[in-house]
Homo-oligomer: A and B are copies of this chain.
Amino acid sequence: MTTSPADFAARLRARERILGYWVVLDNPVGTERLAGLGYDYVCVDAQHGLLDYKGTLGAMTAIDARGTCAGMVRVPANDGFWIGQALDAGARGVIVPLVNTAEEAAAAVRACRYPPHGVRSYGPMRSGLRVGPTPAEANEQVACVVMIETAQALGNTAEICATEGLDGVYIGPSDLTIALGGRTSTDPSVAEAFDAALTTVAEAAKSAGIAAGIHCPDGVTAAKRLAQGFTFATVSSDLVHLEQAAAAHLRDARG
């Protein structure tokens, strides 16, 4: 496939099937390796992850050094400064957590766009090399995705999906599970409600013509979610996989 990171937002909007990887470690050399494996995007987590802004800059640079993968950032909060900073760093898309209403989704969109479509402030310190270069082009090339992960958001799914300028919605399964009454972040006792919520979100996104994404614990689940109607899926995450791998090797070593 001959896609380019510059096409990322367009592919997302076109509801192409897209796969990503999730990074919580401040680990630019590792992120550079991950970015060359064939994932369409790598998303660094600035909310729960272990990267500060220098880490985000380093990760975006590392991803660009491979040249074949788009960098995304899950921003700390639905806040203009955090969103603008991630985009200045060269992210080709943001995932905005904890969006509960259409108004909040609209604020996230505005934070991603320069006037007249939004309120983003101009200072593309690193992205100026790669995204745009004009404000209108940058507006076009950046994807704005909001998370649906609370009970309130679930009730507002259709309205959120209908937000003008929004490019996609994204399910955070851990928070959603807890929001649905789960006792752990993967509680199977709420599986039915969880599956129904996934259907609700995927269908609302389809109706609105925007992308529907979801966080997945592994590749098998990602494949399943794409088959269920999600258009993009992230495999999570470096920290978890590292711990799993090290535990598996210890079992092997002990025979």
Interface residues of A (CB under 8 A from B): 19, 21, 24-30, 32-34, 36-39, 45, 47-50, 52-54, 57-58, 61-62, 64-65, 67, 76-77, 79-81, 84-85, 88, 97-98, 114-116, 119, 121-126, 129, 133-136, 149-151, 172, 174-175, 178-179, 181, 183-185, 216, 218-220, 222-223, 226, 233, 235, 238-239, 241-255
> Is the beta-carbon distance between A183 and B81 smaller than 8 angstroms?
no
**Closest B residue, CB atoms, query A62:** B61
Could you say which residues of chain B place their CB within 8 Å of the CB of A242? 30, 33-34, 238, 241-242, 245
> Is the beta-carbon distance between B25 and A219 smaller than 8 angstroms?
no
Q: How distant is the Cα of A249 from the Cα of B241 in the complex, in angstroms?
A: 10
- Looking at A32, A64, A65, A81, which has the most chain B CB atoms within 10 Å of its CB? A65
Count the copies. 6
Q: How distant is the Cα of A64 from the Cα of B220 in the complex, in angstroms?
A: 33
**Closest B residue, CB atoms, query A218:** B249
A50 touching B33 in the complex, CB below 8 Å, given contacts A61-B65, A235-B250: no
Q: In whole Å, how far is A71's beta carbon from the nearest beta carbon of chain B?
A: 11
Q: How distant is the Cα of A242 from the Cα of B233 in the complex, in angstroms?
A: 19
Q: How distant is the Cα of A48 from the Cα of B135 in the complex, in angstroms?
A: 15
Could you say which residues of chain B place their CB within 8 Å of the CB of A216? 253
Q: Which 6 residue pairs spanning A and B have beta carbons closest together?
A: A48-B123, A219-B252, A219-B249, A219-B253, A241-B245, A222-B253
A178 touching B115 in the complex, CB below 8 Å, given contacts A32-B126, A235-B250, A247-B37: yes
A48 touching B121 in the complex, CB below 8 Å, given contacts A115-B179, A218-B249, A246-B21: yes
